[in-house]
Structure 1
Amino acid sequence: MDNTTIISIISLIIVVLFLFFAVFLVSVKTTKKLSNKLLASFLVVTAVDISVFFYASLIELHPVLEMLRIQLSCFKDPLLFLYILSVIYSDFKLKPKHLLLLTPWVICLIILIPNFFSVSEANQTAFLQNYSQSFEARVIRQINRVVEILYIIAEIYYLIRYRKLLLENYTSKEAFYNYHWLKQLIIFILVGQALTFLKGYIRDSGAFEVEIVNIYRVILLVFGLFFSFWLVFKALLSPKLFRGIGIDLKLAKEMISEKEDTANNKQHTQIEKLKAYMATEAPYLDASLSVQSLSDQVGIPPRELSILINQELNQHFFDFINSFRIEKAKEILENPAKNKQTVLEILYEVGFNSKSSFNTAFKKHTGNTPTSYRKITQNQ
């Protein structure tokens, strides 16, 4: 079996999986319908793009339809970007301003007007036969590469900002599900784009034989096949995904720049009030504690509470709450009368909901694991 046949088979499998998963996304019952539709659209566009490796043996498209199919790949980056925003922000909505994301696609079509869209069908067919070597194709490829890089930068920026928002506002492990999902997704996309760039260089340089180019195509498609199975796996085993944060949620440093500095005496009073409440009421024992819920309990507005913890106490909300949980855990571990209490029982008692997060936080604060800390303190 030659590489051309292998490419056709793998690409057909990927297209079928992507279309199947797209149908699943738009038909499954969920509160995140927009996110699912955006991801489904991304998968459909990608499937249409990949179909180039086999569809020509099945059907023959009109030259205009074929060119539109080629340029349809311009939709992949904006669809992925909008999907990422819709996962991050629970109240994200599409707005007219998002149509501006289609500007590169419109520019590409305008570039093709003189020598393709405004000529006869016979000339269009001839143009398509040599399209990859044409001046228009080279310009469009450069535009698409610049656009892809800009989207990568934007996606990484929003992912980093998302993590900071989570650390400043949440402590539960469930709150970070979306972040880990998007982080993994972006890594996959980056690897895929790097392989695509490499394949494009090998194809366009003219320094490599067709078989070498096909080998790299096989590598890229095998990666795409692995990505397809990973998507299905995540969809089936991660039902808690897609619970975003409010679109108006801001970082503490962003909020403090929007308002006048709070008087020092008020901040001091609020800090003392917060610390006293933490010591007496122990709200940190609630594994799902968030800035909003703590704000309701302590009587400090969420924005002021976030600024207080992140700017004045110089801690993320995540670390601030965990520091109290660790202190409580240390008390239990140091007490010989509670030796029969297991580490698992202790972590749930002090507000953690997973052993891995408890061990990580405990070692970060004490330099020891909970088990070794118990042995060290009780043998002194």
Structure 2
Amino acid sequence: MNIQLQFDFYSLFGLVAISHGIFLLIFIASKHYKSISYRLLSFILFVLLFEIIHDFFVNTKLILYVPGLLSTGNIFSYCIGPLIFLYILSLTRPLFKLKYLHFLHFIPFVLYNTFNLPKYLQTVSQKLSFLNYYYSSLESNPKYFFETRGFTDIFTGFLRYDVHKIIYVAIAFYFFLTYKKKILNEYSNIEKTNVRWMKTILYGYLTIWLLIPIQRFSGFFDVDVILIKNLSYLLLPLHIYFISFIIFSQQSSSKLVLKNKTSSEIDKEELQKIIQKSNASLVEEKLYLNPDLTLTLLAEKIAVREHTLSMAINKILQINFFDYVNKQRVAEAQKLLRDSEKKQFTVEYIGTLSGFSSKATFYRAFVKHTGKTPGQFSKSLS
């Protein structure tokens, strides 16, 4: 067999990602084996590693030595969406446990592989014959398979593999946004919490999966299909580095626990009094300068139930707790920016003095409540 192996930057990038992924699996197994969230994350990592290894063997032509891998690239395609959904669910529900009902999400995985069993069981000679035909066809015409399959067949593949994943991420987004809404009603700082990296993982996966169809349909446009194909080989390895970021971000993050709230209603006049009491304590004692101020701490300070205080802020002020506290912090920042004795301080330091835990949160809150960045506000004073 005359084989000309092909190693390039994209293959090397994938090989490094494989090594990194194996290290992460060992790290999770040794450090976090008891956590359901981490177990689900390790399954996600395993699935991605399998697909990257398959792509690596195809891209380098090493698959000619192990033709048994042929057709297995999408074997776990119907697992990744449900796994990400269950992972987000485990993070947003403190008492989450895997139930038999959850395994219904993997029925498409079983059906897909049952349907493709004949492909997996092809003989070695059949698989080698196809691989030689595949590589020779690509060498003679990079757009051969686009022209042979046609738009309809490729679009069917997009519906079959990609839409399933996107739907699951969309559902996970819904649970995340519901969770975030509750968090903003109880915490004034979410920078060091699981909210930040949950949002990152969902946006990251959604972006990557929306980019994959570009490669699928690139052959129908006047573009360099080889370049697009090579770039697509970077997407799955990027998942590995993405998960690495998530894992090590979690090391310094706190998982927030939401308390159950009663549904009792209180009249508007009573809620107004609670807001007056809360404002007095928040402003006079400058509780907002504590970057980790929570609804629980403020409620204890003014001797009311957390649910009652949250209801007062939501119904009377029509904002969440996060914005309620940050509005006071922005007012403090404006006061400091007007102070001539504070001119030597940087804008970022002013944010820290005002109770903000990060530059990004400070800038977002300042623009939201004033319509200007801190820098623009400072310049307008002079």
TM-score, normalization: structure 1? 0.73
- CA shift in 2, pair 1:25/1:57, >3 Å: farther
Aligned to 1:159: 176
CA distance in 2, matches of 1:109, 1:228: 25
Aligned to 2:273: 269
1:93 aligns with 2:105: no
Q: For 1:276-291, what aligned pairs fall within 5 Å after superposition? A: 276-291=280-295
Tell me which moved more, 224-233 or 70-79: 224-233
Q: Are the aligned partners of 1:46 and 1:73 in contact in 2 as well (CA < 8 Å)? A: no
Q: What percent identity do the matched residue pairs reach?
A: 25
The SS at the match of 2:76 is helix
How far did 1:358 drift? Answer: 3.0
Aligned to 2:297: 293
The SS at the match of 1:199 is helix
1:42 aligns with 2:59: no
Root-mean-square deviation (CA, aligned residues, Å) is: 4.3
How far did 1:284 drift? Answer: 1.6
CA distance in 2, matches of 1:124, 1:73: 26
- CA shift in 2, pair 1:308/1:107, >3 Å: farther
CA distance in 2, matches of 1:346, 1:319: 18
- Amino acid aligned to 1:291: L
- CA shift in 2, pair 1:39/1:107, >3 Å: same
CA distance in 2, matches of 1:10, 1:72: 22
Q: Are the aligned partners of 1:169 and 1:318 in contact in 2 as well (CA < 8 Å)? A: yes
Aligned equivalent of 1:147, options 148, 164, 172: 164
CA distance in 1, matches of 2:4, 2:172: 38
Aligned equivalent of 2:332, options 328, 333, 349: 328
Q: For 1:42-81, what aligned pairs fall within 5 Å after superposition? A: 42-53=44-55, 54=57, 56-59=63-66, 61=68, 70-81=74-85
Residues 136-159 of structure 1 deviation map (CA, whole Å, 9 limit, x = unaligned): x99887444442232131133233
1:187 aligns with 2:203: yes
Residues 19-67 of structure 1 deviation map (CA, whole Å, 9 limit, x = unaligned): 222222333x359833332222212111212322316344354xxx977
Structure 2: where are the runs of 5+ without partners? Answer: 132-144
CA distance in 1, matches of 2:105, 2:76: 13
- Amino acid aligned to 1:222: L
The SS at the match of 1:174 is coil
- CA shift in 2, pair 1:294/1:376, >3 Å: same
CA distance in 1, matches of 2:71, 2:318: 55
Q: Are the aligned partners of 2:67 and 2:124 in contact in 1 as well (CA < 8 Å)? A: no
Tell me which moved more, 7-16 or 79-88: 7-16
1:243 aligns with 2:254: yes
- CA shift in 2, pair 1:347/1:240, >3 Å: farther
Q: For 1:1-380, what aligned pairs fall within 5 Å after superposition? A: 5-6=7-8, 10-27=13-30, 29=31, 33-53=35-55, 54=57, 56-59=63-66, 61=68, 70-112=74-116, 142-175=159-192, 177-201=193-217, 215-232=227-244, 235=247, 238=249, 240-246=251-257, 259=263, 261-334=265-338, 338-339=341-342, 342=345, 346-367=350-371
Residues 221-243 of structure 1 deviation map (CA, whole Å, 9 limit, x = unaligned): 1233444445445655x365553
How far did 1:345 drift? Answer: 5.7
Q: Are the aligned partners of 2:337 and 2:343 in contact in 1 as well (CA < 8 Å)? A: no
How far did 1:288 drift? Answer: 0.2
Q: Are the aligned partners of 1:22 and 1:41 in contact in 2 as well (CA < 8 Å)? A: no
Structure 1: where are the runs of 5+ without partners? Answer: none
Q: How many residues align?
A: 353
- Amino acid aligned to 1:52: H
Residues 308-355 of structure 1 deviation map (CA, whole Å, 9 limit, x = unaligned): 21232111211111222233344445455x447735665444322334
Q: Are the aligned partners of 1:167 and 1:316 in contact in 2 as well (CA < 8 Å)? A: yes
TM-score, normalization: structure 2? 0.72
The SS at the match of 1:352 is coil
How far did 1:86 drift? Answer: 3.1
CA distance in 2, matches of 1:232, 1:174: 19
CA distance in 2, matches of 1:201, 1:303: 52
CA distance in 2, matches of 1:315, 1:347: 21
Q: Are the aligned partners of 1:332 and 1:346 in contact in 2 as well (CA < 8 Å)? A: yes
- CA shift in 2, pair 1:353/1:200, >3 Å: closer
How far did 1:363 drift? Answer: 4.3
Residues 206-262 of structure 1 deviation map (CA, whole Å, 9 limit, x = unaligned): x79xx97654431111233444445445655x365553222x558xxxx7xx83543
CA distance in 2, matches of 1:102, 1:200: 25
Residues 144-201 of structure 1 deviation map (CA, whole Å, 9 limit, x = unaligned): 44422321311332333343333322222534x5333233333332233233333344
- Amino acid aligned to 1:224: L
- Amino acid aligned to 1:327: A
